[in-house]
Amino acid sequence: MKELVFVGLGLHNESGVSLNGIEETKTADRIFLELYTNILPYFSIERFEAMVGKKVQVLHRCNLEEKNGALILDAAENGKTDFLVPGDPLIATTHVTLRIEAEKRGVKTRIVHGASIISAVIGLSGLHNYKFGKTVTVPFPENFSLTPYNVIAQNKKLGLHTLCLLDLKVDEKRFLNINKALALLLEIEQKRNKGIITPKTIAVGVARAGSNNPTVKADYLEKLLKYDFGDPPQSLVFPGELHFMEAEALVTLAGAPEILRRIVK
Amino acid sequence: MKELVFVGLGLHNESGVSLNGIEETKTADRIFLELYTNILPYFSIERFEAMVGKKVQVLHRCNLEEKNGALILDAAENGKTDFLVPGDPLIATTHVTLRIEAEKRGVKTRIVHGASIISAVIGLSGLHNYKFGKTVTVPFPENFSLTPYNVIAQNKKLGLHTLCLLDLKVDEKRFLNINKALALLLEIEQKRNKGIITPKTIAVGVARAGSNNPTVKADYLEKLLKYDFGDPPQSLVFPGELHFMEAEALVTLAGAPEILRRIVK
């Protein structure tokens, strides 16, 4: 059967995948795997292969980008093919493109969803999901732009929270960390001088979402700049207006300064 | 050990849970389960119990709301307690409150994440995650307000997409469907007359995210009003400005009118 199934691997390790995801691999003729669109720090390909009882072919960014995914598409035209992807697979826009290409070639596609960094960080922050505005990625210094600053500013103006994903190049083992991302944003503030992101701004840093020991710390930027969040993956949240239960969550679950309780609506 | 672990059940059926979630239940002294904050249409409690080899106590909304979750908190003060929740567990704000209460009582809490309706619908729509604005729930007619209309309008003004969750009362087997939600939004348009949501507006309806046969259909509202999306859960997306790859995704993956390809930036 010509079929391409995107299987979400969820978070953290090879057991982040759902039982439906494991079940799916049993009927696959070919299994591909990528570990570059997000970080699964404790994912072991050997353990995963042992678990599903099949060989898995690991793809790198270049395998997919340089040949427009021909490797996967050719396999899917010749049998049932599973493509294993960190998190929830179609949150990575590059895979949406692959899915479109497959359908255009007459290959049926399906998705087995997995836990996503998006909902995980929102949940861990203790902030209310429906109060988040647009999400943004904070890029490495060499690709830096005003976009993250502007998105945070726009969301704040609307009273909304901002989820900031931090750039990563897993192939090169490079991860932008929270401290560096904050320093970059504060540099922009110094140029723009709008008072959006200052040393007295409160933010929430989240590290290792999906593990048994995530770090979730809310504090003033001047404090977070020096805070040791430990291993990646790391993400940031800039709160907008806080509901009193959100302030309570930041104080109780993320160690925010207690004064937060008194400055909410 | 005093501990409360929120375990996400993911989507669709009892196999939406991750392997980490199953592993977690093995060390639990008590297991509670709720199925009212979201729809898992094919979840079987019997099959789940057989899978984990333990009894699970089902909680209804009143168990948690009327007693501030005392049932779960008391259990967690006396041993390791797992609370199984559809989707990604802390996306439901009511459970954030429970988590805060547990920590205040000195009970450690943890989260095992699951696939969420949020990232699933975004992925299925083919639209780019970082172009979504604020999310909103469309309420039943008896609780209707201008909020969903205003959120869609605000997002559109910023060029952003809106994810609309549709209200549900699982205990009463009541689900707002896409057709009805669209009719309610068009009624508001008739009163406000701002041209935000008209019969010629394009939207994307998504039904049964997480199943093997989701329906994903993009079309003009006048068409979607009569479209049969089948069984719940159902959600809606109102696109803002489309990138050409997003237009391509809506045409190829969601059967949108081909003219969309020509009206994008």
Contact check, Cβ <8 Å, A137/B130: yes
CA distance A77 to B37: 40
Of A18, A119, A128, the CB nearest to B93: A128
More confident call, B162 vs A65: B162
Q: Kindly state the percentage of chain B with pLDDT values over 70.
A: 99
* Confidence at residue A223, expressed as pLDDT on a 0 to 100 scale: 98
Question: B138 CA to chain A: closest CA distance, Å?
Answer: 12
Task: Mutation target for A interface from B11, B14, B25, B129: give the one with most A CBs within 10 A.
Answer: B129
Contact check, Cβ <8 Å, B90/A249: no
What number is the ipTM of this complex?
Answer: 0.96
Q: Over the stretch B96-105, which tens digit does the pLDDT of each residue have?
A: 999 999 999 9
Contact check, Cβ <8 Å, A135/B136: no
**B192 pLDDT above the threshold of 70:** yes
**B108 pLDDT above the threshold of 80:** yes
Of B20, B104, B132, the CB nearest to A16: B20
Return mean pLDDT, chain B. 95
Q: How confident is residue B171, by pLDDT bands cut at 50, 70 and 90?
A: confident
Q: Kindly state the percentage of chain A with pLDDT values over 70.
A: 99
Task: Mutation target for B interface from A127, A134, A243, A260: give the one with most B CBs within 10 A.
Answer: A134
Residues of A in contact with B109 (CB under 8 A): 253
Q: Which amino acid does the sequence have at A123?
A: G
Contact check, Cβ <8 Å, B8/A115: yes
Question: A171 CA to chain B: closest CA distance, Å?
Answer: 23
Q: Mean pLDDT over residues A178-193, rounded? A: 95
Q: How confident is residue A65, by pLDDT bands cut at 50, 70 and 90?
A: confident
Distances (CA, A) of B265 to B62, B195, B238: 50, 21, 17
**B66 pLDDT above the threshold of 90:** no
For chain A, what's the residue count?
265
**A264 pLDDT above the threshold of 80:** no
Of A8, A103, A160, the CB nearest to B134: A160
Q: How confident is residue B265, by pLDDT bands cut at 50, 70 and 90?
A: low
Q: Mean pLDDT over residues B77-89, rounded? A: 97
CA distance B15 to B47: 10
* Confidence at residue B240, expressed as pLDDT on a 0 to 100 scale: 97
* Confidence at residue B64, expressed as pLDDT on a 0 to 100 scale: 80
Q: How confident is residue A64, by pLDDT bands cut at 50, 70 and 90?
A: confident
DSSP letters along B115-179, please? --HHHHHHHHHT--GGGB---EEEPPGGG--SHHHHHHHHHHHTT-BEEEEE-EEGGGTEE--HH
Dig out the tokens for A107 from the structure. Answer: 């290959």
* Confidence at residue A254, expressed as pLDDT on a 0 to 100 scale: 98
Task: Tell me which chain A residue has its CA closest to the CA of residue B129.
Answer: A91
* Confidence at residue B182, expressed as pLDDT on a 0 to 100 scale: 98
Q: Over the stretch B115-130, which tens digit does the pLDDT of each residue have?
A: 999 999 999 999 999 9
Contacts of A137 (CB under 8 A, 6+ apart): A148, A164, A165, A166, A167, B130
Residues of B in contact with A124 (CB under 8 A): 90, 111
CA distance B23 to B18: 9
Q: Over the stretch B219-242, which tens digit does the pLDDT of each residue have?
A: 999 999 999 999 999 999 999 999
* Confidence at residue A263, expressed as pLDDT on a 0 to 100 scale: 79
Least confident range of A64-73, A189-198, B175-184 = A64-73
Q: How confident is residue B264, by pLDDT bands cut at 50, 70 and 90?
A: confident
Task: Tell me which chain A residue has its CA closest to the CA of residue B248.
Answer: A100
Task: Mutation target for A interface from B97, B113, B208: give the one with most A CBs within 10 A.
Answer: B113
In contact, B62 and B86? CB cutoff 8 Å: no
For residue B124, count CB atoms less than 10 angstroms from its CB and return exposed for 0-12, middle for 13-18, buried for 19 or more.
Answer: buried
Contact check, Cβ <8 Å, A100/B249: yes
Q: Over the stretch A103-134, which tens digit does the pLDDT of each residue have?
A: 999 999 999 999 999 999 999 999 999 999 99
Task: Tell me which chain A residue has its CA closest to the CA of residue B253.
Answer: A100
Of B14, B115, B134, the CB nearest to A132: B134
CA contacts within 13 A on the Cβ side of B111: 37
Contact check, Cβ <8 Å, B88/A20: no
Contact check, Cβ <8 Å, B113/A88: no
CA distance A86 to B168: 30
- B141 preceded by cis ω (within 30°)? no
- Other C-beta atoms closer than 10 Å to the C-beta of A147 total 13
Distances (CA, A) of A194 to A153, A242, A245: 9, 21, 28
In contact, A177 and A229? CB cutoff 8 Å: yes
Nearest to A89, CA basis, from A60, A69, A119, A116? A116
In contact, B2 and B76? CB cutoff 8 Å: yes
Question: A181 CA to chain B: closest CA distance, Å?
Answer: 18
Q: How confident is residue A265, by pLDDT bands cut at 50, 70 and 90?
A: low
- B233 preceded by cis ω (within 30°)? yes
Distances (CA, A) of A90 to A7, A246, B40, B124, B251: 9, 29, 21, 7, 17
Of B18, B104, B109, the CB nearest to A16: B18
Residue A91 CA to chain centroid, in angstroms?
9
Of A15, A91, A130, the CB nearest to B18: A15
Return mean pLDDT, chain A. 95
Question: A232 CA to chain B: closest CA distance, Å?
Answer: 17
Q: Over the stretch A218-254, which tens digit does the pLDDT of each residue have?
A: 999 999 999 999 999 999 999 999 999 999 999 999 9
Q: Mean pLDDT over residues A34-51, rounded? A: 94
CA distance A235 to A163: 8
Nearest to A201, CA basis, from A220, A217, A186? A220
Residue B143, φ and ψ in degrees, nearest 5: -115, 15
